Amino acid sequence: MGKAIKAEGNATKYDGNTKDIRKFSLWNFWVCSTALKLLLIPGYFSTDFDVHRNWLAITNKLPMKDWYVEATSQWTLDYPPFFAYFEWFLSQFVPGVVKKDGCLDIVEVGQFGMPTIIFQRLTVIFSEILLFVVLQIYINKSNISEKSANFVMASSIVLSPGFLIIDHIHFQYNGFLFAILIASIIAVKHQNYLLCGALFTTALCFKHIFLYLAPSFFVLLLRAYVLDFSNFKFKSYIDLINIVRWSHLFKLAGVVLSIFAICFMPFISMMPQLLSRLFPFSRGLTHAYWAPNFWAVYSFLDKVLTIMMLKLPYVHKFISNFIAPPLIPSSIDEIRERVAHNNVGTRGLVQDVYFVILPQIQPKLTFMLTLFYQILAVIPVLFNPSFKRFIGSLTLCGFASFLFGWHVHEKAIMLVIIPFSFLVTSDRRLLTPFRLVVAAGYVSLFPLLHESQDFLIKVLYTLVWGIIYFFALRQTTKVSSSVQRRVFFFDRFAMAYIALLAPLVITIQLLDVMKWKYALLQKFEFAGLMVYSIYCAIGILSSWMGLSWLYNFDEPLWL
Amino acid sequence: MAVKKRVLKESFFASPLYDFLSPFRPVASQWYAEYIIVLFSLVIRCAVGLGSFSGENTPPMYGDFEAQRHWMELTVNLPISKWYWYDLPYWGLDYPPLTAYHSYVLGLLGSLLNPNWFQLDSSRGSESQDLKSFMRFTVVLSEALLYIPAVIYFTKWVGKRRGQSPIGQYIAAAAILFQPSLILIDHGHFQYNSVMLGLTVYAINNLLDGFYAPAAICFVLSFTFKQMALYYSPIFFAYMLSKSLISPSFNLPRLFGIAIATVLSFGAIFAPLYLFGGLHNVLQSVHRIFPFARGIFEDKVANFWCVSNVLVKYNEKYTQIQLQKYSLYATVAGLFPAFALVFFYPKKHMLPYGLAACSMSFFLFSFQVHEKSILVPLLPISLLYCSTDWDVLSMVSWINNVALFTLWPLIRKDGLILQYGVLMLLSNWLIGNFSFVTPRFLPHFLTPGPSVSKVADSYRRRSLLPGNILWKFIIISSYCAMAVIHVLDLFVLPPEKYPDLWVLLNCALGFGCFGLFWLWTYYQMFRMRNKTLYDL
């Protein structure tokens, strides 16, 4: 007993004075979250589960040339080849019981039972270990002064409700895929640009959604690795050649191109087919459930205007004074006609969005808008290729594509949240936009899990995550030293907004529950989703504006 | 003294719970820890609820889930006078009236959402996804309203009196809330034990605060929710009687207060039955609640009668009446020392020990015990997680594991193997039973901090084992035996002659461990009779 007391005494003494021997390990988080994830195995999964099962089957059973041709199931392979290789790799480990269960059958609709579910869920849990490894390396390599902040940030990522909801309930492999992206971000931190290029290219070859972040990586690598302005003196145009560090350029190009080659070479003969799978432009502007972005607000505005103009014809007359007919319908009758057209056709199936009052949106326009805001975000990196700037531009690129992109999924919000996490520890003032985007972003994922059994889990888990990290990030983020810079933007508003999410979620769930009894309420199911996406869109848009303001006009933050 | 205080603080030192919660040590952030514990334990409960429940897809009788649902159906649709009479062979109501009222309220709530769930007769065997979610939700709600606040109040009360740090109190609360057996039975198998146990903890809390009449009311509510709480009654009786008769002196108002509160609350619970159905309705309910017509034990259970039945075939040798008598004698003999000790030393720190010893003797020796009844002794035992004595913590964690192990046959039948495994590992890991793994087998940079990594090398207690070498041997060998029985049960078919052999081995091991633990609680009671709460 005496020995133990002494040892404990020593241990408590350590607490106070020596910060440097503190260990920041994600081990405990891994054990704890894995326990929870194992318990989620029997729970709900979406059609994405069958999608991935089908890919396992395709890659396992068919020769490579048929991977991107095969179309027995409607869930055709539409991820880049690296992911297909990954599925092939996983399919090598399918045990006999699972095979018998129908895991590897190429059929229209998967017929499988518990063994397949357990196997596939376990592949998600195991592949996610990479995320923990990458972040643990990040923590171990960071400076002592940053260690605790980075630890908080890393643990917030590994415990993220986003990954829990999307990967472990809904079913995808984001934890693993984002691990590669995060590794490339960390490579930038350590100024290992070649590695960064290689890792980002790899990530891109796993999931092409990372293309949205590519401008930022491109500009950073260009400016920080390829170009060199340090000895630049303009005497003639010949000198421009000397800006370019040719050896770096060739090394980088070699690495990137060879990774692309490894990825796409086996499919070179059918590139058009592969590309048509990867970029299906036949889809509509918004998803069935509007992702909380700019187009959700736009669609909502259109609905409101339609109702207003139908109920109050005067509004239309008033507005026609200012806007000429091609931009808005010329008469009330035309509005009725358009509404009727909207209701009759096979709405939902075609997935085509048709606006009654507001101008129609072309893919080209969404593309231009996205690119415009991305360019705005990357320009500062050209002048100042620091890590913080880069992360800022990365976050803003994610924002731009999420807010203005064509057919954006609500899941894409992780493209914003993950880079933002790396940024938020650097200044307390970034905390408000960060809180807004995580709160709105994670809540906007709730409709993904529409079954009643998941309600408490998703809400309580997100709540407890919020409590832990709103507190922990506040403790660890730096407060800037000058008083003048401690002006906080719309702070109270943001907290009120976040607090209001709770009654919103509960009310919508209650309405949802009441529809068991009152069939009438089923008509309003879409209304609940609409409220979700509008309210979350407001939060995400304000977060974007807040961050953009700080990014463009608050210079000291980025030095 | 200063050193002693420090020891008090770090009762679960070198445990992951300590590592998780220690960042919240500053005064301003302590309240976060409470919310985090509660919310995380609720998340785990909900996640367990995703699994199957007792009797899923097994017509015609189904299981406990259907029983609870059926009672909601009964109480919502029938007048009180018929509650204890309706179609008795099909899950007739056989719990005390408070369960019926509880079912009534939940049934009303459920009918509000979807009337089809509780249509009389036609809803039998309903198992839809939404109904399951609703039922699971009611368990979580009942527990969140009753059990969890009661436990947290208890740990705070005890911790404050003994100068334990707030984080230490929360860690103790977390250790109690992550007790796997209760989670599995309530949220997996499907029952509402947490209501009964929560009310009992409220009764204990009231005794700690010196509110005797409210304590009596809470306890009456507890055993009128589920008669199993009567296992505690001798100790509550002894404690309150002693407090009003002899210690410190005769206190007539207190005696009257307790008596009146008990009678009134008891009357209030049974009054509706009497008012709407007359005396014979009340008698019928009592008859239903205490079914002496059933055998001395049901299924296989880790108590004296079931285990010794291998040697002596009781049912052939003796009549039921004789068996009832013998079991009564054995139980009374088993609990009497605890009764006497609590009566003569009515101290607060004696309460959990007394309740544990008394309810354990009921479990081991009384009539008609089933395996889930182990939850009753397990509650006061788990409350001892408030202790800072390493030996006590070790014993508590051991007996929790044994209890979970004796539930294995039931859990296997319910198809909750995954949940069983995960919760067993998680609960042990959280309180530091696996902390020996961390520094030994993990790479240095992965050993988590602050506690596990910073424990000095001389600090050898990286799993919960008592100091005594004999106990160490017993505990380790019982763990080995459990592992062997698990392997046998999962991979080896039992001999044809004894199809229940593995289950019997399970029960025998369980009985042995429970018996030893029961003796240990007596030893502890005797040892602590003159000590104070500080030494708990």
In tens, the pLDDT along B329-387 reads: 999 999 999 999 999 999 999 999 999 999 999 999 998 888 899 999 999 999 999 98
Closest CA to B265 of B204, B218, B333, B301: B218
Q: Which residues of B touch A36 (CB under 8 A)?
A: 43-44, 47
Residues A445 and A292: their CA atoms lie apart, in Å, by 10
In tens, the pLDDT along A114-164 reads: 999 999 999 999 999 999 999 999 998 998 888 889 999 999 999 999 999
In tens, the pLDDT along A348-358 reads: 444 566 788 88
**A residues 459-478 lying closer than 8 A (beta carbon) to B:** 460-461, 463-464, 467-468, 471-472, 475
Q: Which residues of A touch B17 (CB under 8 A)?
A: none
Q: What mean pLDDT is predicted for residues B266-295?
A: 87
Which residue did the predictor score with more confidence, B395 or A512?
B395
Q: Would you state the pLDDT for residue A5?
A: 35
Closest CA to B382 of B403, B364, B365, B411: B403
Q: Would you state the pLDDT for residue B20?
A: 87
Q: Would you state the pLDDT for residue A485?
A: 55
Asked if A493 has any chain B CB less than 8 Å from its own CB, the reply is no
Asked if A113 has any chain B CB less than 8 Å from its own CB, the reply is no
Residue A451 is inside which H or E element, if any?
Answer: none
CB contact under 8 A, B16 and A31: yes
Report the gap between the CA of B297 and the closest CA in chain A (Å). 33
Residues B34 and B30: their CA atoms lie apart, in Å, by 7
Residues B206 and B211: their CA atoms lie apart, in Å, by 5
Q: Which residues of B touch A456 (CB under 8 A)?
A: 42-43, 46, 137, 140
Report the gap between the CA of B133 and the closest CA in chain A (Å). 5
Q: Would you state the pLDDT for residue A119?
A: 96
Residues B16 and B2: their CA atoms lie apart, in Å, by 25
Which residue did the predictor score with more confidence, B112 or A428?
B112
In tens, the pLDDT along A221-280 reads: 999 999 988 877 788 888 888 888 999 999 999 999 999 999 999 999 889 999 888 887
**Residue B26: pLDDT band with limits 50, 70, 90:** confident
Q: Which residues of A touch B425 (CB under 8 A)?
A: 35
CB contact under 8 A, B450 and A23: yes
Q: Would you state the pLDDT for residue B532?
A: 86
Q: Would you state the pLDDT for residue A323?
A: 78
Q: Would you state the pLDDT for residue B220?
A: 97
CB contact under 8 A, A455 and B429: no
**Residue A209: pLDDT band with limits 50, 70, 90:** very high
Picking from A23, A27, A517, the nearest residue to B115 by CB comes out as A517
Q: Would you state the pLDDT for residue B454?
A: 59
Q: Would you state the pLDDT for residue A10?
A: 37
Mutate to test the interface with B, among A460, A467, A476, A522 (most CBs of B within 10 A): A460
Q: What mean pLDDT is predicted for residues A286-311?
A: 86
**B residues 17-76 lying closer than 8 A (beta carbon) to A:** 19-20, 23, 29, 32, 35-36, 39-40, 42-44, 46-52
In tens, the pLDDT along A98-120 reads: 999 999 999 998 899 999 999 99
End-to-end Cα distance, chain A: 54
Which residue did the predictor score with more confidence, B323 or B105?
B105
Q: Please determine, for residue A14, whether its predicted confidence score (pLDDT) is greater than 70.
A: no
In tens, the pLDDT along A434-480 reads: 999 999 999 999 999 989 999 999 999 999 999 999 988 988 887 76
Residues B339 and B231: their CA atoms lie apart, in Å, by 12
DSSP state of B297: B
* % residues pLDDT > 70 (chain A): 91
Q: Would you state the pLDDT for residue A363?
A: 85
CB A61 within 8 A of CB A104: yes
Count contacts between A and B (CB, < 8 Å). 157
Q: Which residues of B touch A513 (CB under 8 A)?
A: 113
Asked if A43 has any chain B CB less than 8 Å from its own CB, the reply is yes
Residues B376 and B355: their CA atoms lie apart, in Å, by 9
Instruction: For residue A177, give both structure tokens.
Output: 């895929």
CB contact under 8 A, A468 and B16: no
The ranges assigned to domains in chain A are 27-127, 147-226+363-478+488-558, 286-360
Q: What mean pLDDT is predicted for residues B177-206?
A: 96
Residues B344 and B518: their CA atoms lie apart, in Å, by 20
Nearest CA in chain A to B46: A457
Q: What mean pLDDT is predicted for residues B272-298?
A: 84
* Positive/negative CA dihedral, A218, A224, A226, A232: positive
SS3 state at B497: coil
CB contact under 8 A, A25 and B49: no
Whether this prediction's pTM lies above 0.80 is answered by yes
CB contact under 8 A, B113 and A514: yes
Q: Would you state the pLDDT for residue B146?
A: 95
Asked if A5 has any chain B CB less than 8 Å from its own CB, the reply is yes
B489 φ/ψ angles, rounded to the nearest 5 degrees: -65, -35
Nearest CA in chain A to B457: A7
Mutate to test the interface with B, among A45, A129, A169, A453 (most CBs of B within 10 A): A453
The ranges assigned to domains in chain B are 2-56+127-535
SS3 state at A111: coil
Q: Would you state the pLDDT for residue A6?
A: 35
Q: Please determine, for residue B478, whether its predicted confidence score (pLDDT) is greater than 50.
A: yes
C-alpha of A145 from chain center: 29
Picking from A7, A25, A40, the nearest residue to B47 by CB comes out as A40
Picking from A9, A452, A468, the nearest residue to B6 by CB comes out as A9
**Residue B442: pLDDT band with limits 50, 70, 90:** confident
Q: Would you state the pLDDT for residue B536?
A: 76
Q: Would you state the pLDDT for residue B252?
A: 92
SS3 state at B439: helix
Residues A533 and A539: their CA atoms lie apart, in Å, by 10
Residue A525: HSE in the Cβ half-sphere, 13 Å Cα cutoff: 12
Q: H helices then E strands: how many in chain B? A: 26, 0
* Positive/negative CA dihedral, A99, A103, A107, A112: positive
Q: Would you state the pLDDT for residue A4?
A: 37
Mutate to test the interface with B, among A19, A464, A515 (most CBs of B within 10 A): A464
Q: Would you state the pLDDT for residue A279?
A: 84
In tens, the pLDDT along B288-343 reads: 888 766 667 777 889 898 898 888 888 888 888 888 899 999 999 999 999 999 99
CB contact under 8 A, B418 and A468: no
DSSP state of A478: P
Q: Would you state the pLDDT for residue A21?
A: 52
Q: Please determine, for residue A318, whether its predicted confidence score (pLDDT) is greater than 60.
A: yes
**Residue A22: pLDDT band with limits 50, 70, 90:** low
Q: How many C-beta atoms lie closer than 10 Å to residue A552's C-beta?
A: 15
In DSSP terms, which residues pair with A227 in a beta bridge?
A244
Q: What mean pLDDT is predicted for residues B262-287?
A: 92
Mean pLDDT, chain A, rounded, equals 87
Task: For tokens 């999420």, name the residue.
Answer: A402
